Structure 1
Amino acid sequence: MVGVSGVFERLVGQEPVVDVLRAAAAAARDVAASSGTVADLSGSAMTHAWLFTGPPGSGRSIAARALAAALQCEDPAEPGCGRCRACTTVLAGTHADVRAIAPDGLSIAVKRMREVVADASRRPSVGKWQVVLIEDADRLTEQAGNALLKMVEEPPDQTIVLLCAPTVDPEDISVTLKSRCRHVPLVTPSATSIAEVLQRDGIDAERAEWAAGVSGGHVGRAKRLATDPHAQAQRKQALSVARAAMSDGVYGTVEQLLRDAEAAAKELNAGLNERETEELRTALGAGGTGRGTAGAMRGSAGQLKDLEKRQKARGTRAVRDTLDRALIDLAALLRDALVQSTGAAVTLMHPDEAEQTRKLAAYATPEGLLTCVEAVLECREAIDLNVKPVVALDAMAAGVSTALRTQRR
C-alpha cells in the first residue's frame, strides 16, 4: 500500500489497478476543466464505460466507487483526495450525481434500469459527471442489460458507467455490453496485504494475520472474522460438516447450517424492512387525519404487496449469499485435506484447522476427497440455479458422506 493515498488507499493489493484509475481520473479532470464531454475522452486514459471483474473480496465495488469519487473530486491537484465534500459524499453513498445500483433480490429488473438510464441522461446537478455504478452486473436481466447497452452505445454527454461483475463469462455479462467497456481485472489480494490493512484499522497483529489467512483473500470477510463473533461461529459451523460426514450427524449439521443462514439473513434485513415499510405507509397517508387518507390506504395494498415481494427476494438472496460463503469455506477445507493426502506443498486455506484436515487426509483416499469437493461445488451451483437450499444441502451431505465412507483408506 506504499504510495497509495486518498480514496484509492481502500484498494488492497491492487497497485496496477490504482495506477490505471489515477490516470483515468486525471484525464477526466482535464476534460471537465475545459467543459468537455464524453466524446472528448476518446483516446485518453479515461473512457465512458468500465467493467471491473475479480474474485469475491478482491475489491470490485471499492475500485468502482473510488473511481467515482475521483471523477467528482474537488481537488484540482489530486483527483480522489478523499478529503473534499465530493469524495466523502460519494464514499458515503449520498452524492447527488452518483447512482449506485445493487440487486435487492435475485436480479436487477428492467424497470429499475430504465429509471436509472432516464435519470443518468440528465446533466449533473452538483458534480462534474453523472456516474452510474452497478454492483453485481451479472444479475442484470436480459431486458435490463439491453436497456443499459443502449445508453453505453449512445452515451449522454456527461455520463460515466461503472459495472462490477465476478467474471467476463458470456453467461454473466453479454458479449456486446462487455465489448463496449474498458475491462479492469482485479486479483485476489495476498494475506500479507490484508493483514496490513486490518492492523491499520486497529486490529492486533496476531488476530489480523489469522483472519487474513483464513479469509480466502476476501478483505471484507477478513474484517468480519477479526471483529464479529457471529462470523467466527458461522465459519466453525460450516467446517464442522466435514467432521460430521464421518459420523451419522451430517444431515443435522447441514440443516443447522441452513437455520443459521436464515436467522442471520433475517437479522440483517429486519431493520431495513421495517424502515422501508414504515416509510411507504407514511408516504401513502398512514396515520393521517385529513380527508381521503383512509381511501388512500385502502388503495395502497398493491404497493405494500410489491414491497413485501422485494423484501422477500432480498431475504432469499441474503440466505443464499450466507450459505455460499459457508460452502466456500467447506470446499476449501476439503481441498486442504486433498492436498495433504497427496503430499503437495501448497499453502493451506484453513491453517488453523490443520489437525482436522490431517484426519480427513488419513481417513479418505484422494479420490474420495475430490468427490467431496465436487459435491460441495455442485451444491453451490444448484442453489444458484434456484434449487431449494434444503434439497441441495441434503444432496451434498449424502454425496460427501458416501464418498468418505466408501472411499476410505
Structure 2
Amino acid sequence: MPDVFADLVGQDEAVTTLRQAAAAAALLLDRVDASEQVEQPPGATAAMTHAWIFTGPPGSGRSVAARAFAAALQCRTGTGCGACAGCHTTLSGTHADVRFVVPEGLSISVTEIRTLVLRAASTPAGGRWQAVVIEDADRLTEAAGNALLKAIEEPPPRTVFLLCTPSTHPDDISVTIRSRCRVVPLRQPPAAAVAAVLTARDGVPAELAGWAAAAAQGHVGRARRLARDAEARKRRDAVLAVPRRLTGVGACFDAASALIEAAEAEAVASVADLDAGERTALETALGAGGTGRGAAGAFRGAAGQLKELEKRQRSRATRAQRDALDRALVDLAGFYRDALTVAMGAPVPAVHTDVAELARTAGQRWTPEATLRRLEAVLACRSAIEANVKPRIAVESMMLALWRG
C-alpha cells in the first residue's frame, strides 16, 4: 500500500523535508512524560515546528502536501505509512484531531477562524497532535489573519498549523504570519511525472495521459479531469477557439459573453447537487414536512437560517464561477504562450499540442511584441478578477485587447 506522500507528484525535496519533520514529531512524542503533556512547543526540534506554509503554483499539490503531512503526524509509526487508522482517517477527512478549512466562498471569516482556533486548543483525542489545515489561506480576511496570528504566536503544546498559499508575498499571506512559519515551496510537476501518475493510478492510456498532462500545464487535478471528462475537453476546445472568433468589436463582446456563460453553467452544474442536499438536510432538521403540533410554526420561524444557507451558497457559486473562468483563462494563456514561442523561435514543446498548428500560424503572423501583449492581456484579466473586478467587464476588456494586439 502506498504511503501518504504517494500523491505528491514531482516534489521529492518537499517530501524529504516533511518525512524528517514527521519523524522528529514522533520522537518528540516518545519523550512525553507520564502526564501526557509536552513541556515545550513542537518547535523545539530542528526538523519540526508548530506552523507551516505550503506554497506553489496552482496544481502543485499544496493541499495534498498539507493533508499528507497531517496524516504523517497522526501515523502510529511516525512515517505516514498509509495503512494505519491515523493515516486513513486523516486522508479521508474524518480524523477527530485534524480540522480542515476549505473556503467555499470568496474569503475566510474571522468567526470561522476563532471557532477553529478554540477547538484546536483542546487536548488531542488520539494522544498525538491537533492539526489545523487551512487551504487557500490567502483568502483570510484581515481580521481572520490577526486571529490566526495570535494562535500561531502562542500555540498550544500539541497543535500544528498548516497553511496553503500561492506564495509568501504580502498579498497572499501577512508578513507577520510568514515570519512565524516554516515554508515548504512546491514546484510545478513535470508533465511526464503527471502523465505517469495518470497511467499508473487512474488507468489512463499513455497517449491520452501525455496530452492531458501537457494541456493542464502540470496541474494534476486538471489533467485528471481532462483525461476522464469529455465535457471538460469540449469546454477547453471552445476556449481555444476564441482567437479565431475575434474578427471585430462585436465578435469580441460575443466571445466574452460566451466565455462568461460557459463558466456560469459549469459553476451551476458543479454545485447544484451539493446545494440541493444542504437545503434538504436543513429543512429536515428544522422540521419541514412535520405533522406534529407546532411543527409548521417552528419551520416558518426558521426563515433566517434558510437565508443564511442561501447566502453561503451564493458565495460558493460565485467562487465556483470564478474558478471555472480562471481555468479557461489559463488555457487561453497557454495558447498565446505557444504562439509566443513560435514568434521567438524558442525550442520548447507546446502546451496545447492539438492546436499547435493554429498557434504556429498565429505566431508567424503576429510580431513577438503583439503576441506578448496578448498574453499579458490574459494574465491581466486573471489578476483583475482576483482583485474583484466584475468578471464580465474584465473579460470584455481582455477580448478587445486580444483583437487589437
| TM, length-normalised to structure 2 | 0.95
Please show how residues 6-405 of structure 1 align to structure 2 within 5 Å. 6-35=3-32, 37=38, 39-74=41-76, 76=77, 79-201=79-201, 202-246=203-247, 249-403=251-405
The CA RMSD measured in Å over matched residues stands at 1.6
Cα deviation code 1:204-237 (max 9, x no counterpart): 1111111111111111111111111111112111
Output the CA distance in 2 between the equivalents of 1:279 and 1:289.
17
CA separation of 1:44 and 1:5: change in aligned 2, threshold 3 A: farther
**Deviation of the 1:386 alpha carbon:** 1.9
Q: Secondary structure at the match of 1:51?
A: strand
Output the CA distance in 2 between the equivalents of 1:11 and 1:365.
40
Output the CA distance in 2 between the equivalents of 1:5 and 1:302.
47
CA separation of 1:268 and 1:20: change in aligned 2, threshold 3 A: same
**Deviation of the 1:200 alpha carbon:** 0.7
Cα deviation code 1:340-361 (max 9, x no counterpart): 0121222322222210111111
**Deviation of the 1:64 alpha carbon:** 0.3
Output the CA distance in 1 between the equivalents of 2:3 and 2:347.
39
Instruction: Say if 1:31 and 1:41, in contact at 8 Å, map to a contact too.
Output: no
**Deviation of the 1:368 alpha carbon:** 1.5
Q: Secondary structure at the match of 1:287?
A: coil
2:29 maps to amino acid? A
**Deviation of the 1:39 alpha carbon:** 1.6
2:10 maps to amino acid? G
2:282 maps to amino acid? L
CA separation of 1:317 and 1:40: change in aligned 2, threshold 3 A: closer
Q: Secondary structure at the match of 1:83?
A: coil
1:395 maps to amino acid? S
Q: Secondary structure at the match of 1:160?
A: strand
Output the CA distance in 2 between the equivalents of 1:43 and 1:126.
22
Instruction: Say if 2:25 and 2:42, in contact at 8 Å, map to a contact too.
Output: no
Instruction: Say if 1:27 and 1:41, in contact at 8 Å, map to a contact too.
Output: no
Cα deviation code 1:110-162 (max 9, x no counterpart): 11111101110111113511110000000000000111111100001211100
Output the CA distance in 1 between the equivalents of 2:129 and 2:312.
30
**Deviation of the 1:40 alpha carbon:** 4.8
**Deviation of the 1:184 alpha carbon:** 0.4
Give aligned-pair identity as a percent: 53
Cα deviation code 1:136-194 (max 9, x no counterpart): 00000000011111110000121110000001110110000011100000011111111
Output the CA distance in 2 between the equivalents of 1:297 and 1:179.
49
Output the CA distance in 1 between the equivalents of 2:87 and 2:42.
24
1:297 maps to amino acid? F
Q: Which runs of 5+ in 2 are unaligned?
A: none
2:168 maps to amino acid? V
| TM, length-normalised to structure 1 | 0.94
Output the CA distance in 1 between the equivalents of 2:291 and 2:125.
36
1:31 maps to amino acid? L
Q: Secondary structure at the match of 1:7?
A: coil
1:115 maps to amino acid? T
The residue aligned with 1:406 is none
Cα deviation code 1:5-36 (max 9, x no counterpart): 40011110001111111111111111123335
**Deviation of the 1:44 alpha carbon:** 2.8
Output the CA distance in 1 between the equivalents of 2:257 and 2:102.
29
**Deviation of the 1:41 alpha carbon:** 4.1
Q: Secondary structure at the match of 2:217?
A: coil
2:225 maps to amino acid? R
Instruction: Say if 1:240 and 1:253, in contact at 8 Å, map to a contact too.
Output: no
Output the CA distance in 2 between the equivalents of 1:292 and 1:277.
21
